[in-house]
């Protein structure tokens, strides 16, 4: 799997010192581009803190072969071990991106300048592990990208930079969304690191009511063919963008007595001989890709 490249045009602010930065990221789609972006800015990444592969994980997790020479990979067995790793490498700052485990407060404060996190939402909206999945489910046409200081809670720290990117209908996978989020996040890194070095605390998150974007549950896992075709299409796209979930599998639909996990659908009639047309409660939907479960 080839990781997306971070933008190369950005260079380090010559007035900002070179930093020693730990990257805290679990996937080959996320850690290598961040290492590259930080190196392009003139900073050094001595270590990437990865994540132990779950037994039921279907894809590739970050391995040492994904990282450039001179960058160590540490795979802690427990969350509290992250603290010891960051202290051992004595980094100036830790940069977290999509890490599937909540970091303890001691780990967050271990680097000299603290720990920052990139979250793909306009915080405080869609805090939690599944922000883009919920944005798709709710019909959002754009998503936020927010760099914030990490604190003892989840996605609540003060904001250092934010932007908005379109959430186009053509995005159907975590990797597709992640590529665009990383591009936006990398472009903001110089500003974010400059604020850290200057001791800028950032802005508290807005006082507006936040929302929680947890993993999808059983109530959204089964396809009801009597529903609107547009709603089912959205359900399929939301699940596929949300990615792997070890506890609940979806979206599951019954076609000709067989259970399928739907991977791709379309509301527009595809070329002849392509897909399976399903008449829904309102409108037609074509199933383009699915995995048999029975």
- Domains of the chain (ranges, CATH numbers): 20-197 (3.40.50.170), 218-292 (3.10.25.10)
The whole-number pLDDT of residue 57 equals: 65
Please give the C-alpha separations between residue 140 and each of 37, 44, 136, 161, 281, in angstroms, as whole numbers: 29, 37, 6, 21, 23
Nearest to 103 by CA among 75, 81, 128, 79: 79
* pLDDT, tens digit, 9 for 90 and up, residues 124-141: 999 999 999 999 999 999
Mapped onto helix, strand or coil, the DSSP state of residue 259 is: strand
pLDDT tens string 206-245: 988 889 999 999 999 999 999 999 999 999 999 999 977 7
| Residue-wise pLDDT tens digits, 83-137 | 999 999 999 999 999 998 899 999 999 999 999 999 999 999 999 999 999 999 9
Q: What percent of the chain has pLDDT over 90?
A: 82
How many CA atoms lie less than 13 Å away from 22 in the CB half-sphere?
32
CA pair distance 3, 114, nearest whole angstrom = 27
Q: At what angle do helices 31-40 and 174-197 cross, to 10 degrees?
A: 40
H helix or E strand, kind and range, residue 250: none
Question: What pLDDT is stored for residue 58 in this prediction?
Answer: 64
Residues written for the chain = 294
Local confidence band at 2 (pLDDT 50, 70, 90 cut-offs): very low
């Amino acid at each position: 799997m080839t990781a997306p490249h971070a933008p190369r045009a950005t260079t380090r602010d010559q007035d900002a010192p070179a930093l020693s930065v730990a990257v805290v990221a679990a996937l080959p789609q996320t850690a290598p581009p961040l290492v590259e972006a930080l190196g392009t800015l003139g900073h050094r990444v001595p270590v990437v803190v990865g994540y132990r592969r779950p037994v039921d994980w279907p894809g590739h997790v970050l391995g040492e072969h994904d990282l450039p020479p001179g960058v160590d990979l540490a795979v802690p067995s427990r969350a509290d071990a992250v603290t010891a790793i960051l202290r051992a490498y004595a980094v100036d700052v830790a940069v977290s991106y999509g890490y599937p485990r909540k970091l303890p407060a001691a780990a967050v404060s271990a680097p000299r300048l603290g720990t920052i996190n990139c979250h793909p939402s306009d915080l405080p909206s869609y805090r939690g592990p599944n922000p883009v999945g919920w944005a798709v489910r709710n019909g959002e046409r754009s998503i936020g990208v927010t760099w914030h200081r990490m604190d003892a809670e989840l996605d609540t720290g003060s904001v250092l930079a934010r932007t908005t990117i379109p959430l186009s209908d053509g995005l159907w996978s975590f990797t597709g969304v992640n590529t665009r989020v990383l591009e936006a996040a990398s472009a903001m890194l110089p500003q974010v690191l400059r604020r850290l070095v200057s001791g800028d605390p950032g802005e508290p998150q807005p006082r507006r009511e936040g929302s929680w974007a947890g993993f999808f549950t059983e109530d959204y896992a089964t396809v009801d063919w009597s529903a609107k075709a547009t709603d089912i299409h959205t359900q399929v796209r939301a699940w596929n963008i949300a990615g792997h979930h070890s506890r609940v599998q979806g979206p599951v639909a019954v076609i000709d007595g067989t259970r399928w996990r739907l991977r791709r659908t379309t509301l527009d009639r595809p070329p002849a001989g392509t897909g399976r047309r399903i008449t829904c409660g309102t409108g037609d939907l074509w199933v383009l890709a699915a995995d048999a479960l029975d």
